[in-house]
Structures are given as C-alpha cells and as structure tokens.
A and B are shown apart, each in its own frame.
Chain A
Amino acid sequence: MATEFEIRNASGMSGDARTAALNSQQSVIVANEVRQWVKEGRVYQAGTGVLTTPEAENATALTRQQPNFMVRVPAGAVIVPLLGIITPEATGAAILEVLISACNNDPGVANMTAVVPVNVNTRFSLVGSSVLAYGTNAGATGTAPTGVVDLYRVYNQADWDAITGAPTPPIIYNPRFGLGQECVVGNGTAVNAFMAHFNVGTSATFFSIFTWAEFSYAEYYGT
C-alpha cells in the first residue's frame, strides 16, 4: 500500500494527502526547499542602485550603525536571507570591504531610504513583503546593533575598478553554496535586522541585489 504525505502550497498545509513521486528507476525525487519557498511566494528581492545608476556609498570604513542595505524584520515575522550580490561600479581607491551580519534589535532607520521589495515569483508580484528594506545610507541609523552575528566578510586590497587585467566578478553571499553562514532573523516580540555593509576607501558606487524568504513567526516555529 502506498504511503501518503500532505501537500503544502502557498496557503500552507492543504489537508490533501497524496503519494510521493518516484522516477522510473524508482528513485525518490527530492524538491529543493528554497525552490518550494519561491513557489509559495515567500521569496522577495530588493537592493540598491537603479538600472543604470549605481548608488554612491557614504561610509568609507565599516561602521555598525551604517549598513548600506538593511532588512528590518518586524515582531512576528521571520526571514531567512538567501542571496546577496554586490557589484561595484566605480571605486575611488583601495580597499574594498563587504560584511554581512544580523542583529537582535532595531537599529533604527535614520539616514536610510526605504526601498520596495518585489516577489521573485511573478504570480505574486503584487503581494507586498511583510518586512521593510532600506538602502542609501547617509549616516548612523540611530541605535547600535546588538547581539550582532557576522555571517560573511570580504576584504580586498585592490582598487576594484582599476583592475583591467582580469575579470572582476560580483561579490556573492550565498550560504547554501558555501559563501557565508546561513542565519534566521526575527522573533515574536521585537524588531530584528539583516545588514549588509559594503564600502571602499573613499568614494565608491555599487549596485546590489538581496533576496530572502519570509514567514510569520507561527509558520516558521509552529507556535
């Protein structure tokens, strides 16, 4: 007799019990969990810079209270950051630094500009994110991040845009592929945040793309 499992879709567990699929060699077919999150409309994208205009970055050295991009996760929401692509355009000088981190408090939003996240499943393009994303840092956000956990870091001596004798691929945070540590950001009672810092010695301009999966606290932890 076949064993049945319960289908989960964008509305959650469906109560619809079905057999799992095998291929014709009778191997079990495994679906990637992140692919299922995309299917369920849980994955959003935001970033800095527009199509042809990179963002001028304010900080010249890493400052905890000056992330260049931030996802502010309200109480009752949880996110799993999936991807960060940081693409420098003009770098005024050496040194290029990137730091990805998370904190357990609300850093504030002073000197930041809100950007609107977009769902990466076009069926859900019109469904808004439950978190707030911010770019365009112009100074301290207001409150020092606490409980900070660092997830990925790059330090490059070279003046990036002066490298003309070799390709300069983007800097990628992607913990499911070994580029950084996966984390979970959010709890049931307070604002938490995901932060990306990227800057270069003096003036610099960057594009960036960030994606994350989002859940209610109850969906993620079952309580």
Chain B
Amino acid sequence: MATEFELRNASGMTNDNLPAAVSQSRSLIVSDEVSQWIKEGRVYQSGEGALTTPVALAPTDLVRQSPEFMIRVPAGIVIIPLMALAVLEKTKAVLQMLVSCCNNDPGVTNMTQVTPVNVNTRFSSVGSSCTAWTTNAGNTGTAPTGVADLYREYQQADRDAITTTSPACQDLLYNPRTGRGQECVIGNNSTVQAFLLYVLAGTASDSEAFSIVTWAEFTFAEYYGS
C-alpha cells in the first residue's frame, strides 16, 4: 500500500491524501519550498525607480531612520525577505548597501508608498498584506529597535566611472538563498515590524538607482500554527 501525504495548495492543507510522486527510476521528486510559496501566491515584489527613471538616492551616509526602501509588516503578518537587488545607474564614490530588520514600527514620514505585486501572475490582482515604502527624503519618525543586520557592502569605487571592467559590474544583491546574506523572519502577532534596505553612493541626490525587492508572506497563524 502506498504511503500517502496531504496536498497543500493556495488555500492551505486540503485533507486530500495522495501518494508522493517518484520518477520512472523511482527517485522521490522534491519541490523547493520557495517555489511552492510562489505557486501559492505568497511572494510579492516591490522596489523603486520606474522603467526608465531611477530614483535619486538622497542620503549621503547610512541613517537607521532613513531606509531607501521599507516593508512595513502589520501585526498578525509574517514575512520572509527573499531578495533585494539594487542596480546603480549614476554614482559617486563611496557606495554602500545595508539590509536589516527591526522589531518596531519606524514610521513612514518622508517615504512614499508603492504597491507590491504578486510574482505569480495568477494572483496579480491579490493585494499584499504589507505596505511598501520608498523614495526616502528624511527620517521616518521613529528609530528602529531590535535591529539585526543581514547584509552589508561598502565599495570605494565610483561605479559609473568603471568603464574598463568586463563584464559589467555585478549588482548589489541580498539573496540569502544563494549565500548572500542571512535569511530572517519579520513579524509578530501584536506589533508592526519592518524590513529595511539602505542604498546610497557618495553625494546627496547625485546617485541614482533602481531596486527590486521580494518577500514571502503569511498570517501569523499560518506561519507559527498558533
């Protein structure tokens, strides 16, 4: 008699018990958990810059209350950040990138809200449970607390002055699933918490970038089972 497991889809566990698939050579077929989250419509994308227009990076140095991009995770929601990609268009030296999380609500002053989009086109019209904020123009209002730093880069070079390196410069990339940074979990059942991305280069508003940020989201009960 075949051993059975339970089917999970976008609605959760289905009570539908089925045998696991094996290949013709009887290998057990394993699905990556993040691929399944995408299939279930849990993964959203946001970022900054429009198609042909990067955003100007206002800060000249790192300020905890001035993230370039922020995901504000409401009480009762949990996210796992998956990727943060920053692509510099115009730069001055020095280039810095910092990825972190905090256990409080940093506020949204001096930020502009952007709308996350599901990376599974079937769920494109389903809104995110979080709010995303970009285009920092100053302090957000409250200093982040319980901060954990997850990834950091510091580069002396003026990126757009590098014209002799081939191939082109690698992007600034936080991607813990490929070893670039520490994976984290953000959110609890009673307070707002946040993901923070900082990108800046040299002189105020004289550097420009695009960014792409993705994350998986769950309710607190879905994630922790309580």
Binding site for B on A (CB under 8 A): 1-3, 7, 9-10, 18-32, 34-35, 38-39, 43, 45, 47, 51-52, 54, 82-83, 85, 87-89, 118-123, 125-126, 160-170, 172, 174, 176-179, 207, 209, 211
Contacts and interface: CB of A to CB of B under 8 A. Distances in A.
Given A29-B8, A207-B152, A167 B185 contact: no
- Kindly name the residue among A3, A85, A167 whose own CB sees the greatest number of chain B CB atoms within 10 A: A167
Given A83-B182, A177-B179, A2 B36 contact: no
Contact of B150 (A51, A125, A168, A209): A209
B100 to A, nearest CB: 9
A174 B147 contact: no
B182 A88 contact: no
A68 B95 CA distance: 24
B103 interface: yes
Given A22-B5, A24-B7, A118 B146 contact: yes
Contacts of B187: 122-123
A88 B154 contact: yes
19 contacts: A2-B6, A22-B6, A24-B9, A26-B19, A28-B31, A29-B30, A30-B31, A32-B33, A45-B150, A52-B61, A85-B181, A120-B185, A121-B185, A123-B78, A123-B188, A125-B103, A167-B159, A169-B170, A174-B179
Contacts of B24: none
Contacts of B89: none
B4 A1 contact: yes
Interface residues of B, number: 69
Given A19-B5, A45-B182, A126-B103, A85 B152 contact: yes
B123 interface: no
Contacts, number: 202
A32 B149 CA distance: 21
Contacts of B108: none
Nearest to A210: B182
Contacts of A119: 146, 148
Contacts of B62: 51-52
A39 B226 CA distance: 13
- Kindly name the residue among B3, B28, B159, B182 whose own CB sees the greatest number of chain A CB atoms within 10 A: B182
A80 to B, nearest CB: 13
A13 to B, nearest CB: 14
B50 interface: no
Contact of A168 (B3, B145, B155, B179): B155
Contact of B184 (A38, A88, A163, A169): A38
Contacts of B25: none
